[in-house]
Amino acid sequence: MCGIIGILGKHEVSPQILDGLKRLEYRGYDSAGIATVNRGQLDLRRAVGKLINLSDALVHAPLPGRVGIGHTRWATHGGPSVANAHPHRAGRVAVVHNGIIENFRALRDELTTEGAQFSSETDTETIVHLASQYLEQGVSPIEAARSTLKRLEGAFALAFLFEGEEDLIICARRGSPLCIGHGTGEMYLGSDAIALADLTDRITYLEEGDWAVLTHDGAQIFDAEDRQTNRAMTRINLDTARVDKSGHKHFMAKEMAEQPGVLQAAMGCYAGPGSTGITLPPELDFSATDRLIMVACGTAHYACQVAKYWFEKYAGLAVELDIASEFRYRDPVLGPSNMALFVSQSGETADTLAALRHVKPHVAQVVSVINVPTSSIARESDVALPIHAGPEIGVASTKAFTAQLQVLALLALQAGLQRGVLDARDFAAHLEDLRTVPGYVAQALDREEDIRRLSELLSRARDVLFLGRGVMFPLALEGALKLKEISYIHAEAYAAGELKHGPIALVDKDLPVIVFAPFDGLFEKTVSNMQEVMARQGKVLLISDAQGLAHAGDVPYQLQMPSVPAFIAPIVYAVPAQLIAYHTALHRGTDVDQPRNLAKSVTVE
């Protein structure tokens, strides 16, 4: 996902903009650039690859000026190149943009016909040519920006900079987040508060459709109907916004290690020590719900897959599940007694947000489980439930996944109680099980050295298969995703019982097969499937507890997890899934925190 920053400063802004872009690196990018206005002159520098290349360009050709905009680009239209990097410029205007202009082809044709010369393959470049055209018609920069916004369709967060204007940045938000920072005689804008954490803790979040005129003295904000409006200024906690690796080699390592504390915090927020109940908003009432629809993407979707087992088992609640990018295009059947639940770490995933907007008019209640309470998904939900995981910077989601599971487990128990399926005794027992999660996750993390050794074997594999049954099947899916996204090894996950219906053809002596199988009611069946793999020389790694490993007999590779209640096993078994991927990636030397092609939050559909 692209990153945007802008500064109206009292000093040279290029160094601060570059620092802000470094704070946005976690979003994933493949090129970057900065534009400034100095003594009336608009100029820009752009570079492909990591920010060090832009920094070199600025050393060789400094970019003076006390007003500027910067951008990290995650390529959508047009590959990574200097020509496609932002800022884009036409005449007296430069723009940085996050999102997709869905009508860019029609605009490009129109502008080309009128003589515009395009120099990139991007959708963004149509924005600067439109604004430049308005300027040439003699309108003011503010009017040029406002008129340009009216012509755009799609999702964007963007910022305009104008030649000759050293006290002006115009920015707009439609479908992609954007916030304004308040300084002393300075003003800022950024894709999120993390980008501005070194500059200010006073943040105003633009609402959907807002656009704003920034000067050194402040911001005028206008809504989608161009009515001047006020948006609250909040003070953010700089400690959480200022992210660093705290001595770890990677953000992912730090965030995996944070899990016991994060899970403790999540538990503390909803069921503090000694409490006998779960504290949730009173309007959250599962007893009136006839069906729960859960929609998410990627790892968040796998959390929903786990939660489906819990809602059905402990609350007797019918659950429909789908990935967001498919959900709204299949004409889902929605009803006035349905509850829709959206899970998203960033709260800005475009597919998930679009699905939320699709269902909202048709269901009783929209609930979200998110990690960013100020995010779009949180703000558009009837009930938003934070997971309190703190900023998750590594592209591969780890602590957010286990925290999502912890909160979803609490919701399932609450639903069971409200629907009369769980009696007070069973509710209390399962709640106590959840209180043990942080400790068991810490024990699972202690197996890291064993996992590091086992991962060396995996790092030489061409393909890897993950298997699980029941609630362990979504864990297999999550393990395969983790391995794919940070080690670039092809990995697939199958329900263990499904293997014999085709995928077992893949099994040979070169294929590692990772099996998630705590000693539970499905263990024997899973072990049978595992035996089928071993009979064909598949290299099996069995992840189980002491009882399971003892029952399984001679398995080439084994990893022992603590023996835990079946209810919480999915949360604990997430840890080996994460560590296997992490250490395999280390063996392969890939970029663990910013894997190729990926963005931390995908704000385009």
Q: Does the protein bind ligand AGP through residue 579 (CB under 6 A)?
A: no
Q: Does the protein bind ligand AGP through residue 413 (CB under 6 A)?
A: no
Query: Considering only residues 169, 219, 300, 356, which one is a binding residue for ligand AGP as defined by CB under 6 A?
Result: 300
Q: Which residues, including other chains, have CB under 8 Å from residue 78's CB and lie 6 or more apart? A: 84, 120, 121, 122
At 529, the amino acid letter reads: N
Mark whether 304 is an active-site residue: no
Q: Which of these segments, 48-56, 106-114, 307-315, 394-402, binds ligand AGP (CB under 6 A)?
A: 394-402
* Nearest distance in Å: CB 271, ligand AGP: 23
296: closest CA among 269, 264, 268, 319?
Answer: 319
Q: Per CB under 6 A, which of residues 43..102 are in contact with ligand AGP?
A: none
Q: Which spans in 333-447 are helix H?
A: 350-359, 376-379, 399-418, 424-435, 437-445
Q: 2, 179, 297, 304: which is the annotated catalytic residue?
A: 2
Strands across the sheet containing 512-516: 490-495, 463-468, 512-516, 539-544, 557-560
Q: How far apart are CA 574 and CA 582, in angstroms?
A: 12
* Nearest distance in Å: CB 378, ligand AGP: 12
Task: Locate 48 and state its tokens.
Answer: 């492909």
347/562 with CB nearer ligand AGP? 347
355/467 with CB nearer ligand AGP? 355
Binding residue count for ligand AGP, defined by CB under 6 A: 15
Please tell me what DSSP assigns to residue 329: G
How many Å separate Cα 551 from the centre of its chain? Answer: 39
Number of residue whose CB is nearest ligand AGP: 298
* Nearest distance in Å: CB 104, ligand AGP: 24
Task: Locate 372 and state its tokens.
Answer: 């960013």
Helix (H), strand (E), coil (C) string for 414-458: HHHHHCCCCCHHHHHHHHHHHHCHHHHHHHHHCCHHHHHHHHHHH
Query: Considering only residues 397, 406, 526, 594, which one is a binding residue for ligand AGP as defined by CB under 6 A?
Result: 397
Q: Per CB under 6 A, which of residues 305..364 are in contact with ligand AGP?
A: 344-346, 349, 352
283: closest CA among 420, 414, 432, 431?
Answer: 414
359: closest CA among 321, 333, 383?
Answer: 333
Please compute Rg for the chain using Cα positions. 25
Please tell me what DSSP assigns to residue 315: H
200/299 with CB nearer ligand AGP? 299
Query: Considering only residues 87, 99, 298, 562, which one is a binding residue for ligand AGP as defined by CB under 6 A?
Result: 298
323/364 with CB nearer ligand AGP? 323
Q: Does the protein bind ligand AGP through residue 414 (CB under 6 A)?
A: no
* Nearest distance in Å: CB 350, ligand AGP: 9
63/574 with CB nearer ligand AGP? 574
Query: Considering only residues 34, 297, 542, 575, which one is a binding residue for ligand AGP as defined by CB under 6 A?
Result: 297
Tell me, residue by residue from 255 to 294, as one string, x for binding to ligand AGP by CB under 6 A and - for no binding: ----------------------------------------
383/396 with CB nearer ligand AGP? 396
174/484 with CB nearer ligand AGP? 484
Confirm if 459 and 588 have CB atoms less than 8 A apart.
yes
SS3 state of residue 207: coil
* Nearest distance in Å: CB 308, ligand AGP: 17
Q: How far apart are CA 311 and CA 297, in angstroms?
A: 19
Q: Does the protein bind ligand AGP through residue 396 (CB under 6 A)?
A: yes
Q: Does the protein bind ligand AGP through residue 578 (CB under 6 A)?
A: no
Q: Per CB under 6 A, which of residues 583..602 are in contact with ligand AGP?
A: 601-602
Strands across the sheet containing 211-215: 88-90, 93-101, 154-162, 169-174, 211-215, 218-222, 228-229
Task: Sort strands 228-229 and 218-222 into parallel, antiparallel or unpaired.
Answer: antiparallel
Mark whether 245 is an active-site residue: no
Task: Locate 302 and state its tokens.
Answer: 């796998």
* Nearest distance in Å: CB 568, ligand AGP: 21
Q: 22, 482, 484, 600: which is the annotated catalytic residue?
A: 600
145/377 with CB nearer ligand AGP? 377
SS3 state of residue 212: strand
Binding site for ligand AGP (CB under 6 A): 297-300, 344-346, 349, 352, 395-397, 485, 601-602
| Catalytic residue positions, numbered | 2, 600
